[in-house]
Copies of this chain bind each other. A is one copy, B any other.
Amino acid sequence: MRQSKLFPKTIKIAPKDAVSASHKYLVQAGYVDMLQAGVYTYLPLAWRVIGNINRIVREEMNTEGAQELLMPALQPKGIWEETGRWSGSLSEVMYQFKDASNKDFGLAATHEEVVYDLMRRFINSYKDLPVAVYQIQNKFRAELRAKGGLMRGREFMMKDLYSFHLSAEDLNEYYKKMIEAYKRVYSRCGLEAKVVEASGGVFTDNFSHEFQVVSDAGEDKILYCDGCDWAQNSEITKLKVGDKCPKCGQPLKEGKSIEVGNIFNFGEKYAKDMNGYVNDDKGEKLPILMASYGIGISRLVATIVEKYHDDKGIIWPEAVAPFKVHLISIKKDAEAEKVYNELTLKGIEVLLDDRDVSAGAKFADADLIGLPWRLVVSDKAGVKIEVKKRNESASRLLDLAEVLKEVI
C-alpha cells in the first residue's frame, strides 16, 4: 500500500491523558481513534493487526475442534433472569434498556447465557457431546474505570469459546488442551503469558485460570516463580514475595500484569440454573457441563505494544505487524516503485512511503508505526538498498536479491 493513500496520517502530539506507551503510540501512529472514553475506532493499521491476531486465534481454536459462529449483542432479559445475573453480579456492567414497547434488552457483556440457551435447545442426545463453539466480536461493559487506550474499554473485542461436556473428566481434558492452545496463541503473538490461578467465584472450590503478561502497564498483580510455571493472582494467594515456590522452592516474585485471557470451569452451574440436561446411553439424566474461555483481542493489541516499543514508537513482532516492510523512497520514486513491485509480487506486504515530505519525517513515522523491516532507496544508498530491522540500530547496504532472501 502507498502511504500517501493510507488513512489517516500520523499525529504530531500524543493524547494528553496517555499514561501508557500503547495508548500514546497507537493513537499517535494512527492505529486507533477515540470516539468517547473507552470506545475506539480500529483504523486501517489496527484492523490489519487485529486481522493477523484473529487468524492466529482462529487457527488454534479450529485445531481443537471448535466451530466458529456469531451470537447477537442484543439480548433478552429472560435468559439473564434464569441465572440471576440480570439484577445480580453483571447488572452493574451490563448496559440495559427498553425499546418503545417497553421490552427489556441487555447489551452483550458476555455470552454464557445465550450460548447455554442455544445448547440446551439443540443438544438432544449424549451423542451431540462434546461440542465447542467460539466467536470473535465486540462486547460492551459499562466500565467506570474506562481509561485511555485499548486496555479497558466500554466496547472491546473478545474471542470467547464455550465447551460442553457429558463428564467432568472430558471437560477437564478439554480445559487442559485449551490452556496449551492459549499458550500457543500468546507465544505466536510474541508474548509470554503466565497461567495464573485465580478465584473460582462462588460456585466452585476450584481455581479459575487467568493468562497474565507481566508488565508495569498492568492493572493486576500476580505472585509468580521464575524457576517454574507456578503463579497465583495476588488477590487470592496465601503466600508473599520471597516465600518459597510451592512447586520448585525458588523465592517468589510479585509483579504488575495484564490479564489477556481467562478460562473458567462452570461445571454444573448452568445446567442447574438453566435446566440443561441430556440422557446418557443408559437413559440416565446428566447435566450438560460448560466451561468458557476468553481472550481480549483489543487488549492483546495494546499488550503487544507495551512489550514491544522504544522511545520512538512501536516495534511489531512479524506475526502481527500490519505490514512486514516499510519501504522509504528518498527522492528515488521510480527505483522505490520497482522494489515495491518485486516485493509485492513475492507476496510480501509493503507500506511504500511515497509522500512528498522530508527524509526525517519519513524516518520518524517509520519508527512510530513500527513495521519490522525498514528499506530505504536513496542517492546515498546508490544502486543498493539500505536495510534495517526496526529493533536494530545499524543498517546494511544490500542489493535487491539479497533483500528478498532476508525478508521472505
Q: CB within 8 Å of B: which residues of A?
A: 5-9, 33, 35-36, 39-44, 46-47, 50, 65, 67-76, 92, 95-97, 99-100, 105, 107, 114, 117-118, 121-122, 124, 128, 131, 133, 137-138, 140, 142, 144, 154-155
Contact = CB atoms under 8 A, between A and B. Distances in A.
A353 to B, nearest CB: 15
State the number of copies, please.
2
Contacts of A9: 122, 124, 128
Contact of A76 (B36, B73, B128): B36
A69 B95 contact: no
Contacts of A42: 69-70
8 contacts: A5-B131, A6-B67, A41-B69, A42-B70, A47-B68, A72-B155, A96-B97, A100-B144
Nearest 10 Cβ contacts at the A-B interface = A97-B97, A8-B122, A44-B67, A42-B70, A36-B76, A74-B155, A39-B72, A41-B71, A99-B142, A72-B155
Contacts of A95: 74, 97, 99, 105
Given A105-B95, A107-B107, A114-B41, A71 B7 contact: no
Contacts of A68: 44, 47
B74 A154 contact: yes
Contacts of A105: 95
Contact of A65 (B5, B39, B47, B99): B5
A142 B100 contact: yes
Given A8-B128, A35-B76, A47-B69, 10 more contacts: A7-B67, A33-B122, A35-B114, A36-B76, A41-B70, A41-B71, A44-B133, A74-B155, A95-B97, A97-B97
A258 B297 CA distance: 36
Given A92-B100, A95-B97, A97-B95, A35 B71 contact: yes
Contacts of A133: 7, 44
Nearest to A92: B100
A241 to B, nearest CB: 37
A95 B99 CA distance: 7
Most buried by B among A36, A40, A144: A36
A302 B6 CA distance: 35
Contacts of A99: 95, 142
Contact of A35 (B65, B75, B92, B100): B75
B73 A138 contact: yes
A140 B74 contact: yes
Contacts of A100: 92, 142, 144
B43 A69 contact: yes
Contacts of A74: 35-36, 39, 95, 140, 154-155
A40 B43 CA distance: 28
A379 B122 CA distance: 33
B70 A47 contact: yes
A74 B43 CA distance: 16
Nearest to A111: B41
A47 B133 CA distance: 12
Contacts of A72: 35, 39-41, 138, 155
Contacts of A50: 70
A40 B71 CA distance: 7
A8 B43 CA distance: 36
A90 to B, nearest CB: 13
A276 B33 CA distance: 18
Contacts of A69: 7, 41-44, 46-47
Nearest to A48: B68
